[in-house]
């Protein structure tokens, strides 16, 4: 399927090279080659997006699966993904679409909006599964149409994007879940092929613009030291104690064969993070308490079990003690 769209955010250089300015990799791409993400190609001095409009995954998911626990709890969202990624995490959970090119269906932004309108009982579109920031042109054209049709746009992203494209997209985005994969540059460099600082900058910028939650996959013996977890939680708390943090348990995937992160470590990590943050949730673990409690009086605000129910919210406040609760609802 050869459908290509001229990319945004690039410059022409000498000798038919182009420089892509979408993500911090700053690829300088010779004619006929692709950048590190494999989905942006230089053809005779023009940079093209190779995954524009190409959908490899489509599902109607609970919003909690993104995970977003403080954004329309109990609702569903149409979740779509394409292919490609600008990071190379050795523990990638979606490597079949992130690092391969599976079968895709082509849709235009208008067709996607029509498909979204045809499905009932959901709040909008989540751009997820593979990395959405390198699906930039398609999302940039689709998101305003989704808004115009009265629906929401959600990004589930690694946050490895440069500031200018991020700021241009943010007015069209209602919520983000950003992966903060670890809290050392070495972890980002050695296991993810990225860098920590640009992701922190994305989190700081996004927090001022839309609803935001953060996910950290705790990988055995790699990013799960108590010092690192404490540093990560403390830093998020310095932006706001109210940012929900999802600590997700690692299981062997893709190239990573280390054993699953021990349960006692997950529990200890939760305890540490709660010193700095009001809402910490464990993920990828059956049977844990997923409810949201008022940080002041411990009233159950959202009950999450087979049925998800907002129980004790009066507008944006706890019904019992009146503490403001950061849930978009």
User: Where along the sequence are the contacts to ligand SF4 (CB under 6 A)?
Assistant: 20, 22-23, 25-27, 35-37, 40, 86, 134
CA angle 169, 86, 103 (to 5 degrees): 95
Helix 109-118 with 136-148: angle, nearest 10 deg: 50
Q: In terms of Cα–Cα distance, which of 184, 20, 140, 185 is closest to 86?
A: 20
Q: Residue with CB nearest ligand SF4? A: 35
Q: How far is the CB of 37 from ligand SF4 (least distance, A)?
A: 3
Q: How far is the CB of 35 from ligand SF4 (least distance, A)?
A: 2
* Residue corresponding to tokens 């996910």: 215
Q: Count CA within 13 A, CB hemisphere, residue 155.
A: 33
Nearer to ligand SF4, 12 or 119 (CB): 12
Q: In terms of Cα–Cα distance, which of 86, 191, 160, 161 is closest to 130?
A: 86
C-beta separation of 62 from 49 below 8 A: no
Radius of gyration of the chain from its Cα atoms, rounded to whole angstroms: 20
Q: How far is the CB of 157 from ligand SF4 (least distance, A)?
A: 13
Nearer to ligand SF4, 10 or 71 (CB): 10
Distance CA 32, CA 44 (A): 7
Q: How far is the CB of 25 from ligand SF4 (least distance, A)?
A: 4
Q: How far is the CB of 208 from ligand SF4 (least distance, A)?
A: 23
* Residue corresponding to tokens 């809290």: 183
Q: How far is the CB of 79 from ligand SF4 (least distance, A)?
A: 22
C-beta separation of 22 from 9 below 8 A: yes
Nearer to ligand SF4, 107 or 134 (CB): 134
In which element (H, E) is residue 212 found? strand 211-218
Nearer to ligand SF4, 36 or 54 (CB): 36
Nearer to ligand SF4, 25 or 76 (CB): 25
CA distance from start to end of the chain:
40
Q: How far is the CB of 115 from ligand SF4 (least distance, A)?
A: 27
C-beta separation of 303 from 282 below 8 A: no
Other Cβ atoms within 10 Å of 229 Cβ, number: 24
Nearer to ligand SF4, 25 or 211 (CB): 25
Nearer to ligand SF4, 11 or 316 (CB): 11
Nearer to ligand SF4, 41 or 70 (CB): 41
Q: How far is the CB of 161 from ligand SF4 (least distance, A)?
A: 8
Which pair of tokens denotes residue 257?
């064969």
C-beta separation of 134 from 52 below 8 A: no
Provide the H-helix boundaries in 76-220.
95-98, 109-118, 136-148, 163-169, 185-187, 196-207
Nearer to ligand SF4, 26 or 110 (CB): 26
Q: How far is the CB of 57 from ligand SF4 (least distance, A)?
A: 20
Helix 263-273 with 226-239: angle, nearest 10 deg: 30
């Amino acid at each position: 399927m050869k459908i290509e769209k001229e990319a945004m955010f690039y410059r022409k250089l000498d000798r038919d090279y182009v420089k892509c300015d979408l993500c911090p990799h700053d690829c300088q791409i010779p004619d006929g080659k692709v950048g590190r993400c494999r989905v942006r190609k230089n053809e005779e001095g023009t940079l093209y997006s190779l995954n524009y409009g190409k959908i490899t995954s489509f599902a109607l998911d609970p919003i909690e699966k993104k995970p977003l626990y403080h954004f329309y709890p109990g609702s569903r969202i149409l979740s779509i993904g394409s292919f490609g990624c600008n990071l190379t995490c050795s523990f990638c959970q979606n490597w079949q679409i992130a690092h391969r090119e599976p079968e895709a269906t082509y849709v235009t932004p208008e067709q996607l909006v029509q498909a979204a309108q045809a499905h009932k009982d959901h709040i909008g579109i989540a751009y997820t599964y593979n990395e959405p920031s390198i699906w930039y042109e398609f999302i940039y054209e689709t998101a305003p149409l989704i808004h115009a049709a009265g629906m929401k746009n959600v990004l589930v992203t690694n946050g490895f994007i440069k500031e200018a494209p991020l700021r241009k997209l943010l007015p069209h985005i209602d919520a983000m879940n950003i992966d903060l994969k670890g809290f050392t540059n070495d972890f980002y460099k050695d296991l993810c092929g990225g860098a920590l600082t640009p992701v922190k900058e994305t989190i700081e910028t996004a927090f001022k613009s839309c609803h935001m939650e953060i996910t950290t996959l705790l990988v055995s013996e790699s990013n799960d030291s108590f010092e690192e977890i404490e540093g990560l939680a403390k830093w998020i708390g310095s932006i706001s104690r109210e940012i929900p943090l999802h600590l997700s348990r690692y299981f062997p995937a893709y190239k990573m064969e280390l054993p699953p992160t021990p349960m006692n470590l997950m529990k200890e990590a939760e305890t540490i993070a709660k010193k700095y943050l009001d809402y910490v949730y464990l993920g990828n673990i059956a049977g844990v308490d997923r409810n949201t409690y008022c940080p002041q009086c411990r009233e159950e605000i959202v009950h999450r079990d087979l049925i998800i129910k907002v129980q004790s919210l009066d507008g944006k406040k706890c019904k019992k003690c009146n503490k403001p609760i950061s849930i978009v609802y």
